[in-house]
Amino acid sequence: MDTKENILINKLAVVDEFAKEANLTKQLRHRLRHALRYSTDKKGISWVDKQSIFNELPKHLRYQMALAMHQGAVRHISFFANRDPLAIASIVPFLQPMFVQHNDFVYKKDEHADEIYFIVKGKVDYRTSLSSSPFKTIYKSNYFGDIEAILGIPRKYFARAARNLELMNMTKVIIEKIKDEFPTIWDEMKNIALEREETFDRILMELEEIQAFQEKDGFPDWKVIKEKVEKKIVVKKQKEQKRRLTAAMNRKSEVSFKDLFEKVREIQSYTVKLSKEIKSIKKDRSKYPRSSSVQSPLQKRSSSKQYSTTEKESEVDYLDVFSPKVYS
């Protein structure tokens, strides 16, 4: 019996024990077992193990292995078409297979968004509520869930399996990897997410306007509907631009304050160092008094007193202004 089967048996035993303790229904227990079987069969070794192995391989072998993984599913995903081999080798091996049964939700509205899903088989519907009709369907070879995951916002819609779904799941770790290491791909994904968001908003606004006409027992006037929707889109864009500008200004303000604080600390450190150097110079001068041929004793005392007073005031000014008490 191989290692994978042993792992599966142990997992199923844990599920069975949990099902008994939690008094789960037979149907739910069956679904849990099915999900575990699918996960164990598809995933194989862990993400850490994969990363360690792939880092040791030459680039061309990484690419070839990436194309062969997940039963070659990447060859049929539009996102990876004509993509740089390095990007494919860096992303595909770490996608996680996932199975969702027909009518189950991949995610629900307002949930935290940190994953993007590529459809290997099946299709998924977007809905605005649990009971509403779908307003958009995403088919095989495409991906979804990108709007919220990329823009950093909670889920805006419900995503429900319109039939049994086989997915490849891109986690937050891989999304951040793309952002850091493949900025061109990241910009492309972000632009697509923004376009999709606007498209979905437009669809939902049109549906609202159509419903408003129907409630008044009137026939939808598409020209009027289009005009109203365009106005709403413009207003929404203006609000979004204002929000982003405010956020950018706040980030800039925070950075500026941090830089200012660091500069103050730097000056404070320099001042303390300068003060020590001045004291050291004074100590050295006391060992070697000036010659009387250069100054008279009266001039010497007057000059020394004036210098000491000025120097002391200078030290006090520096230490008072940049004292840690002021900025603590």
Residue (of 77, 33, 34, 68) closest to 167 by Cα position: 77
Sheet with strand 165-170: strands edge to edge? 96-100, 165-170, 116-121, 143-144
Residue (of 180, 177, 107, 181) closest to 147 by Cα position: 107
Amino acid in position 5: E
Report the C-alpha gap between 275 and 164 in whole angstroms: 75
pLDDT, tens digit, 9 for 90 and up, residues 270-297:
787 777 777 777 776 666 555 444 454 4
| pLDDT score for 224 | 85
Percent of the chain scored above 90 by pLDDT?
A: 35
| pLDDT score for 294 | 47
Mean model confidence pLDDT for the chain: 78
Report the C-alpha gap between 205 and 197 in whole angstroms: 12
Query: 144 and 162 in contact (C-beta within 8 Å)?
Result: no
Residue (of 162, 159, 105) closest to 127 by Cα position: 159
pLDDT, tens digit, 9 for 90 and up, residues 189-203:
999 999 999 999 999
With a cut of 50, list the residues of the chain below it in pLDDT. Answer: 1, 291-294, 296-298, 302, 304-305, 307-328
